[in-house]
Amino acid sequence: MNMIQSDLIKDIKHYKELESSLEHLEEQIDKEARQLLKELQKIDGWQCMIKACKDHYAKYPKKFFDWCSVTHTDSAVQFVKGYSDGDEYEVMEIDLHNSLAMQVRNKQIELRGEAQRKQQEIKEKELAELKRLKEKYE
């Protein structure tokens, strides 16, 4: 056996060891993300954090997140739901740098603001229509 073969054997063995370590870390990240989700679910109004698949979650609230996979960035974990047609949706993202309660509170404020903006847009459209009709029939 020559030197290159010997080096390849060592490198392949090292690669397999690293691969095993990565699998273990991936499983640990998944486990800890699901524990974090359970902590989030103890906060009143936590459901506001759900970004996608709300109807599917509503049908199966106890099982739904078990069907999601966990992904991550340096600063957050995401729960992703894949469907048989190939579509994938990021259902929720949990920031790892802010408290869970603060994230829920901030999301509730954001959603209220969006609802108020939508109401304001509807009012403005209705007022514009009233103005148009008033001018038309005067």
| Confidence class for position 138, pLDDT limits 50, 70, 90 | confident
| Confidence class for position 134, pLDDT limits 50, 70, 90 | confident
pLDDT score for 11? 93
pTM of the model: 0.79
Q: List, for residues 66-107, the tens digit of each pLDDT value.
A: 999 999 999 999 999 999 999 999 999 999 999 999 999 999
CB burial of 28-56 (b: ≥16 within 10 Å; e: otherwise) equals eeeeebeeebeebeebeebbbbbebbeeb
> Widest CA span of the chain, in angstroms?
100
Q: Is 44 helix (H, G, I), strand (E, B) or coil?
A: coil
Q: List, for residues 16-59, the tens digit of each pLDDT value.
A: 999 999 999 999 999 999 999 999 999 999 999 999 999 999 99
pLDDT-wise least confident of 9-13, 105-109, 127-131: 127-131
pLDDT score for 37? 98
What is the C-alpha to C-alpha distance for residues 21 and 5, in angstroms, rounded to an integer?
A: 24
Task: Answer for the pair 70, 33: CB distance below 8 angstroms, yes or no.
Answer: yes
